[in-house]
Structure 1
Amino acid sequence: MSVPLILASKSVPRRNVLNSAGVCPTIRVSHVDEPAALERAAREAGVAVADLSVDQRVMILAEAKAQAVHQAYRDVAATAAAAHGERVTGYPLRAAEVAEAGMSADGDDSKGAEHVAHAGGNAGAGAGTDTDGGISKNAEPSSILAGPQLDYSKASVATTRDFSGVSIPTETEPISVIVGEQAGLSRSAVGPLILGCDSMFLMNGECYGKPHSVEVARERLRAMRGHTGELWTGHCLIDFATGRVARGTSHAKVHFCDYTDDDIERYIATGEPLEVAGSFTLEGFGGAFIDGIEGDPHGIIGLSLPLARRLCAELGVSWTDLWNVGRGVKEPEDKASGVAHAESAQQNGLGGTPKNAVIIPPKENVHQPGDGWIECACGRKHWGTNGASGILLARRDEASGEVTHVVMQHRAMWSAEGGTWGIPGGATADGENPIEGALRESYEEANITPEDIEVVGAYREDHGPWAYTTVFAFEKPGHRVEPKANDDESMEIEWVPVDDVPNRKLLTAMRTDWPNFAARLRELAAQAR
């Protein structure tokens, strides 16, 4: 398996540079306060921020971003390693009722019921069935698969069977033993590698970051035309397994043409120059206004491949060990594919009216390692090539110790069973175990800070090639989690009174499992008193 790379940036150009070089990174935003980081570094050096050179600035910010993400992953690993209690594993496909009923190739059952996989907060772990949606509830998966792209938020092929009322065989093991045996962050000998980047443009001795406003962009672009500047990029690479750090900078000269005022106004109107270092791009609208480059062109885009390769070598990792993208291999379908499916749905008589139009996820959603649909032994598809997991976080009354609230996610409309309530979670990324994946996803989606919770148990529904792990957790004594929607996968995140959960419009899997989950939480709370 390749060494996972975590990119501490949401920059699309940086991600694209890596993808084109055969590396699909995990994206983790650092949320670093850049002005504060520069002020702190300048204060420690006994100088003013204005006295910091451009190479010092980009290096300070690159390391701040890498270290912030490194600490976030250390918090995840520490909470996962401290997990206690039991993990119950259910094997629904081994149940006698399932075996007696038989299973057709398309995963249909005699009841015709459709039970959504344990999607947690991720749009892809399982897809809901909407009887009024673009996919008919009775549509055969074979006819659905004939379309160019499926809308997995409605396609029945993305649901799993209804195992309610089935006597599911289970196994119970200490969760600490499972964590100790599974591959994950704390057991890795090398990696994942965490890469922080920052770029600034130097023109006439002045450092330019992102302009952020039309007025600043206009002023800078006028000053740059017909002149030459330098684009500096700083990189910081951290090996999570060893804590070793490698640092370096790259720069290149950029020669601009003598573009007109009209060119400037039209370029600003695209919005492109407002949020990029130096107010220009090489790979976008601004590329035509660059007459020449001296130095590393990838550094101008924001990620220097030669520098990244050298930093990997410093840490004892071959660049080719990061390759995880095959040439000519089609990228896996995303969580809510459907760009071309609305038309095919109409052609196949499966709906597709304006009322049932496919809801497309935001363009910012990206494919990451571990994303993708799995052909399950139950005959359906599930999200997560390494499986998926989510956090069911409970709050207890300080006096009685009883569970009073749980964190719930109101799922975005474009996601599977959009508009329903579930728990935050998602696909397990390469290099992490299900508990670590649940902790990472729940922080990214719902701001559930791993250092403020303790894992007290888990339930794993195992289908063979795919499994979903529901991780049970409590707030640590004296700690409080303030959940909020951190990304576009949620309409809202909130503490829901435990007695009110059944009254919400729940994700199908959560509706089915909630009675057992509520009982398990009460039992765990009683044990913790």
Structure 2
Amino acid sequence: MAIPLILASASPARLATLRSAGVEPTVRASAVDEPALVQRAETEFGELEAEDVALLLARAKCEAVAAGLVEAGESADALVLGCDSVLELGGQTFGKPADAADAIARWQQMSGGSGVLHTGHWLIDDRDEGTDATFGAVASTTVHFARLSQDEIEAYVATGEPLEVAGAFKIDGLAGAYIRGIEGDYHNVVGLSLPLLRELLAEVDVAWHELRD
């Protein structure tokens, strides 16, 4: 019997990544107000680094789902994983584009250049006989973008795909032809670093294969 994992994310890409690795999580999306949370944190602590934003949001999602189970009177008896990705580009931190115009402007900036995709991972050991640990880490992957013409940018944005994800691209989707290469973990760019998750699990004495049926 596999150790239950709750994925505190509505991302289809993260779910597909886990499933492709033999893990079948229970999906529980959170209702975290991400812009408001980041704004409050920056008001209190000053401007956050991109890695800090990713980890802050991953933690908030994970904790919100874990707390929601308690409020609903449910026993999780599971590991809870929250993830969030942001793109660091030219010293700025970007999440999902606000609209098509924003996505076009983003791609005009990314075209021919490079950015770093940071994904925060937060794990709560909410098993009945678990450690009660709550901690996280960030995986970062450098992404090199091809140089796109304006027509290519507008055609890609018109598909709607860039509006769905942080960074305004899906390396495992229609944007695959526009990525010249990466430095780091491919799965991290998709949205969830399997090697990092394996390391986090080891901290609570769970072997990777124990998540598989």
Shorter-chain TM-score bucket reads: over 0.9
> C-alpha distance in 2, partners of 1:44/1:210?
24
The answer as to whether partners of 1:212 and 1:275 remain within 8 angstroms in 2 is no
Aligned partners of 1:206, 1:42: CA distance in 2, in Å? Answer: 14
The answer on whether the counterparts of 1:2 and 1:322 sit within 8 Å (CA) in structure 2 is: yes
Q: Secondary structure at the match of 2:135?
A: strand
Gaps of at least 5 residues in structure 1 are 81-184, 325-529
Provide the identity percentage.
46
Name the CA distance, whole Å, in 1 between partners of 2:69 and 2:43.
Answer: 28
**Structure 1 counterpart of 2:106:** 220
Query: Match for residue 239 of structure 1?
Result: 125
Q: CA deviation at 1:319?
A: 1.2
Which residue number in structure 2 is paired with residue 32 of structure 1?
Answer: 32
Aligned counterparts of 2:200 and 2:37: Cα–Cα separation in 1: 23
Q: In the TM superposition, what is the alpha-carbon distance from 1:307 to its structure 2 partner? A: 0.8
Note closer, same or farther for the CA distance 1:275–1:210 as it changes in structure 2 (3 Å cut).
same
Aligned to 1:73: 69
TM-score between both structures, scaled by the size of structure 1? 0.39
Secondary structure in 1 aligned to 2:68?
helix
SS in 2 for 1:29: coil
Match of 1:8 in 2: 8
Q: Which has the higher contact order (CA 8 A, sep 6+)?
A: 2
Compare the two structures and name the one with the higher helix fraction.
2
Show the counterpart of 1:230. 116
CA distance in 2, matches of 1:240, 1:37: 24
1:216 and 1:201 map into 2 onto residues whose CA distance is 14
> Would the aligned equivalents of 1:218 and 1:268 in 2 still touch at CA under 8 Å?
yes
Q: 2 CA distance for matches of 1:197 and 1:54?
A: 14
Structure 1 runs (4+) greater than 2 angstroms displaced:
39-45
> What does the per-residue CA deviation read over 1:219-260, in whole Å, with 9 as the maximum and x for residues that have no partner?
000111110111000000101134311200001111111111
Unmatched segments (≥5 aa) in structure 2: none
Structure 1 segment 382-401 matched on structure 2, within 5 A: none
Corresponding residue SS for 1:10 = coil
Q: SS of 2:136's equivalent?
A: strand
How far residue 198 of structure 1 moved from its aligned partner, in angstroms, is 0.5
Tell me, yes or no, if the aligned pair for 1:245 and 1:315 is still in contact at 8 Å: no
Who is 1:55 aligned against?
Answer: 51
Q: C-alpha distance in 1, partners of 2:23/2:6?
A: 10
Matches within 5 A, 1:185-204: 185=75, 191-204=77-90
Equivalent residue number for residue 319 of structure 1: 208
CA RMSD of aligned residues (A): 1.3
Residue 2 of structure 2 aligns to a residue in which SS? coil
Equivalence map 1:255-270=2 (5 Å):
255-270=144-159
Residues 305-333 of structure 1 show CA distances to partners (whole Å, capped at 9, x for unaligned) of 01111111111111111113xxxxxxxxx
**Aligned positions, number:** 210
Cα deviation per residue 1:250-282 (whole Å; 9 max; x = unaligned)?
Answer: 011111111111111111111000121111111
